[in-house]
Amino acid sequence: MKHLSALLGFGLLLATPVLAQDEVLFQIDGAAVPFYAPLYAGVENGFFSDEGIEVEFIYAGASDILTNIAAGNVQFGFPNGDAVIAAAANGLPVRVVHTTYQRGIGALLAKAETGIDSYADLAGKTVAVTSYGSPNYLQLQVGLAQAGLGLDDVTVELIDTGAIVQALQSGQVDAIVFSELRKYVLEGAGVEVDMILSNDFLPSFGNVVVTGARLLEENPDLVRRLTNAVTRSYEWTMDGNIEAALDIAMEKYTPTWAEQKPALVTAFEQTFAASVWRSALTDERGLGVADLAAWQANADILAQYDVIEEAPDASTFVVADPKTIGN
């Protein structure tokens, strides 16, 4: 009987159902790169599964992500804030539910030897962006306009995310408008680079978590759990685990970047953890909160320079605090 009871007890353990996980597609801007290490670490550390979520990362350009979100093809996206504003201005039902990057990370990068240290210096030059729907293309337009130039004054080339930095390094183009973080990568390769931060003339936001208006309305619990996992992932990374997060990314998601780890650690410590993922507002209220006034200023500037026809009301497409979702 003792053995029978033990067997029955073991059988009951086997019969205990595993809690179901919500399967979600999370579409990230660009390609699999170690700059998204906190999200990758969040999956491997179980932060998403702790929230009952099984996440699959897929990749696309920002404009495609927002189109997919609006159509319900994917549940969550991670595009740049400028692109979200453009989508909202065009009437797409997208909602920012976690302002992950508290400022923009777009930048004009050029080899120091070219002498390009202002947007005015781009006249007659070749400049690369990843697509006409990219946030960097919007930044290029505003930067040129503020310098008294237009797109007709430069040659714009479209180069894929995976090749745009190499195009600058090889001299295929004179400058690129991409990410300030690639400055560290180029300098690590021995290339001296001049940089103009887009955020200096177009205060904006980098990658943010977005979802569709319908999903936010119909399943706020899922949205809140997803943003909880994102917050936990970034908190863990910032809490002395930058190298550990990069190790996870390079082992399972971005193995070809392993040799660039020293430059990436510097980028994470000096830029991401210092002033991108955090701000005075997040120090007070927690990661992911949104400064609606800053979002509105971003939209107003894009409208001022005719990048969008009319600035949307930030409060209609940005959630101020992810912790309030569903409450």
74-128 tens-digit pLDDT: 999 999 999 999 999 999 999 999 999 999 999 999 999 999 999 999 999 999 9
Dist. CA 13–CA 7, nearest whole Å: 10
Please state the domain count of the chain: 2
On whether both 50 and 145 belong to a single domain, the answer is no
| CATH code of the domain containing 315 | 3.40.190.10
Last residue of a domain, one of 200, 235, 262: 200
Lowest-pLDDT range, 1-5, 264-268, 301-305? 1-5
Range of the domain at 36: 22-103+205-324
Q: What is the pTM of this model?
A: 0.84
pLDDT number for residue 20? 61
Q: What's the CA gap between 198 and 183, in Å, rounded?
A: 14
User: 305 exposed, middle or buried (CB, 10 Å; 0-12, 13-18, 19+)?
Assistant: middle
Question: What is the Cα–Cα distance from 84 to 208, expressed in whole angstroms?
Answer: 9
Q: Are residues 123 and 75 in the same domain?
A: no
Please check whether residues 184 and 275 belong to one and the same domain. no
**Residue 118, domain member (yes or no):** yes
Residue from 134, 140, 126, 107 nearest 170 by CA: 126
Query: Is 90 found in the same domain as 131?
Result: no
Q: Which two tokens stand for residue 192?
A: 């001296």
Same domain membership, residue 150 and residue 61: no
Statement to judge: residues 91 and 134 lie in one domain: no
Using the 3D structure, point to which of 166, 200, 234 is the last residue of a domain.
Answer: 200
What's the pLDDT tens digit per position in 174-191? Answer: 999 999 988 988 988 899
Residue-wise pLDDT for 183-229, tens only, equals 988 988 899 999 999 999 888 999 999 999 999 999 999 999 999 99
